[in-house]
Amino acid sequence: MQLNGSEIIIECLKEQGVDTVFGYPGGTILNVYDELYKHPEIRHILTSHEQGASHAADGYARATGKVGVCLATSGPGATNLVTGIATAYMDSVPVVAITANVGKPLLGKDSFQEIDIAGVTMPITKHSMIVKSIDRLADTLRRAFKIAKSGRPGPVLVDVTKDVTAATYEYTYKKPEEIVPETDRITEKDLNRAAEMINQSKKPFLFVGGGTVISGASEEVRALAHKIQAPVCDSLMGKGAFPGDDRLYTGMLGMHGTKTSNLGMYACDLLIVLGARFSDRDVGNPKSFAEQAKILQIDVDPAEINKNVIVSGSVIGDIKEVLKRLLPMVAEKEGGEWVSDIMKMKEAYPLAYSPDGLTGPFVIEEIYRATKGQAIICTDVGQHQMWAAQYYNYTAPGTFLTSGGLGTMGYGLGAAMGAKCGRPEKTVINVAGDGCFRMNMNEIATLVRSNIPVIEVVINNHVLGMVRQWQTLFYGKRYSHTILEDQVDFVKIAEAMGATGIRVTRREELRPALEKAIALNAPVVIDCQIDCDDKVFPMVPAGVANSEVFDESDLAKKNC
């Protein structure tokens, strides 16, 4: 049947099973919005800023496993998506961003609100393309969804000129292609080598990354860990891939990982790395990373093998499929002395914080208790992000959403919005710092307008906490532009936007505030006032070996 370009865009979204999109209208995309008006089966969330739309599409994708979709007009509308697109790219999140551009005759003439957004986003997408002919529109959109979801997922941008959104062409429905796990590069040779390394190991250690979450390999990872009695640590992006309440779990690895994970990694004879890219925040000094051990890396992306850390063996392919084939090839092990040693480490080096006053770690633990560990937790970036990773036990994938690679302040509120739209049955809480909340607090108005019941917990220390921590430890306490000395009242801001605002200054006030927020089932902002010098420990200074991990007690001994 003959349809115009805008109708084709909507029909392609329906083909792909899209039920929610996030966006902001403008001149060049008006034809698409006019058609969207006629299709209430696709819920559109009008965000307060296009960046909020891209973060919301990201959060929706992470929480549901589907492709997230955002829309924006040309020029500044499109460029406002860029930070969210880059965030999704760094964390391998499947997002399709659809933008509209000026008409084809106006391209390249510095027209009003014209920009080469496909060119701008080329380095931060799996693929970016501009559609300047109506006969290419449907197939380009279908290809975009396939690219976003297949292999190592990531964002794809499709820019459509305004004349294409108005032109007509023959449209025929096509069932979406099935996305199958990548197995072409899995070889018997690599599997045999991997099995041999595991079977010969006396002290195996698992390091679980975000690729494990993406592949849906949680059951296989748990089966492997228990079959070979290997302790398990994770990266920030790997949270939830292995249950945080499992006996073999040792906590996060890296800059703010546990002492048990950082020191235990130097005691193993085999480090099995599942879907982790050896980020500098995880490995510290790559030259000394697990230098005593053999390293086996399993990853879907061949570009990650030997990129940051040289490994002894590797298997390239979807982690779930690799582990399915590998599990029957490995022999059961007794935990024995190795696991016993790690358990002793866990007892000797627990996470600890001051028992006095309202602190970041206490806030996270109280959230865990109030939600019984069943919430979706989103975060922004900074100290609160690390506390949320350390003190909330994640037992399922897709329940901890954070900007790990790009480290985007302002990410969490939009992501929480998207997660709640995708998983309405879940309690969704965004944990933010006051600096981050200032970045995208305007999306509270979106939550109220669209009746999206997200709880925003602001851990408010009136400073840029993580930067201040570095200034305290490494910059002689020179607090250059990190003190937020103003009279901003987050409770009043919440109320002004139509949400409920609650201020918490003492420990005993927090649990009632959380229970009230959950019971209200409406947008709520809880402003938790903590001390400006609360710090995140343990810590590994940038660029040094993870074995140099220290905590507050180590600092006290050093300063004696």
Q: Is 112 a catalytic residue?
A: yes
* pLDDT (0 to 100) of residue 554: 85
* Given 35, 50, 114, 366, the catalytic residue: 50
Of 66, 126, 149, 162, catalytic? 162
Is 345 considered catalytic here? no
Is beta strand 270-274 parallel, antiparallel or unpaired with respect to 376-379?
Answer: unpaired
Amino acid of residue 430: N
Q: Which of 14, 15, 104, 113 is catalytic?
A: 113
Task: Note the residue count of the chain.
Answer: 560
Distance, in Å, from the CA atom of 447 to the CA atom of 467, rounded to the nearest integer, reads 30
Minimal CA–CA distance to 202: which of 266, 152, 268, 255? 268
- The yes-or-no verdict on residue 485 having pLDDT over 90 is no
- pLDDT tens, residue by residue, 276-316: 999 999 999 999 999 999 999 999 999 999 999 999 999 99
- Which structure tokens are listed for 38? 């006629």
Question: According to the model, what pLDDT value does residue 560 have?
Answer: 61
Give yes or no: 50 in active site.
yes
Supply the mean pLDDT for the chain: 97
Q: Are 5 and 36 in contact (CB under 8 A)?
A: no
For residue range 27-82, list pLDDT tens digits in order. Answer: 999 999 999 999 999 999 999 999 999 999 999 999 999 999 999 999 999 999 99
For the chain, first and last CA: distance in Å?
A: 80
Tell me the pairing of strands 127-131 and 68-72: unpaired
Instruction: Give the C-alpha separation, 127 to 124, whole Å.
Output: 8
Q: Looking at domain 188-348, which of 3.30.300.20, 3.40.50.1220, 3.90.79.10, 3.40.190.10 is its CATH number?
A: 3.40.50.1220
**pTM of the full predicted structure?**
0.97
CA-based nearest residue to 20, from 441, 426, 417: 417
Beta-ladder partners of 550: 539
- For 470: left if phi > 0, alpha if psi spans -120 to 50, otherwise beta; the answer is alpha
Cβ neighbours of residue 408 under 8 Å, at least 6 residues apart? 55, 83, 84, 86, 87, 380, 381
> Is the domain defined by 360-537 classed in CATH 3.40.50.1100?
no
554: Cβ–Cβ under 8 A, 6 or more apart, which residues?
none
Rounded mean pLDDT, 402-422: 98
| pLDDT for 463 | 97
Residue in 237, 255, 466, 539 annotated catalytic: 466
Of the options 1.20.1070.10, 3.30.70.360, 3.40.50.970, 3.30.70.260, the CATH number for the domain spanning 2-170: 3.40.50.970
- Residue-wise DSSP of 104-163: GGGTTTT-TT---HHHHTGGGSSEEEEE-SGGGHHHHHHHHHHHHHSSS---EEEEEEHH
Q: ω into residue 538 within 30 of 0, thus cis?
A: yes
pLDDT value of position 558: 77
Distance in angstroms (rounded) separating the CA atoms of residues 241 and 215? 10
Give the tens place of pLDDT for each residue, 193-202. Answer: 999 999 999 9
Which residue in the block uniquely carries the two structure tokens 């084939």? 325
Query: Shortest CA distance to 214 belongs to which of 341, 101, 67, 84?
Result: 67
Query: Which of the four pLDDT bands, split at 50, 70 and 90, describes residue 524?
Result: very high
Residue 239 is among the residues annotated as catalytic for this protein: no
DSSP symbol at 173: -
Give yes or no on whether 2-170 and 188-348 have one common fold: yes
pLDDT value at residue 556: 78
What 3 state SS string does 490-554 have? HHHHHHHCCCEEEEECCHHHHHHHHHHHHHHCCCEEEEEECCCCCCCCCECCCCCCHHHCECHHH
**Tens digit of pLDDT for each residue in 348-394?**
999 999 999 999 999 999 999 999 999 999 999 999 999 999 999 99
Distance (Å, rounded) from C-alpha 218 to C-alpha 225? 11
Per-residue pLDDT reduced to its tens digit, 215-246: 999 999 999 999 999 999 999 999 999 999 99
Q: Where are the domains of the chain?
A: 2-170, 188-348, 360-537
Of the residues 38, 112, 477, 492, which is catalytic? Answer: 112
CB proximity list for 153: less than 8 A, separation 6 or greater: 92, 93, 94, 126, 214
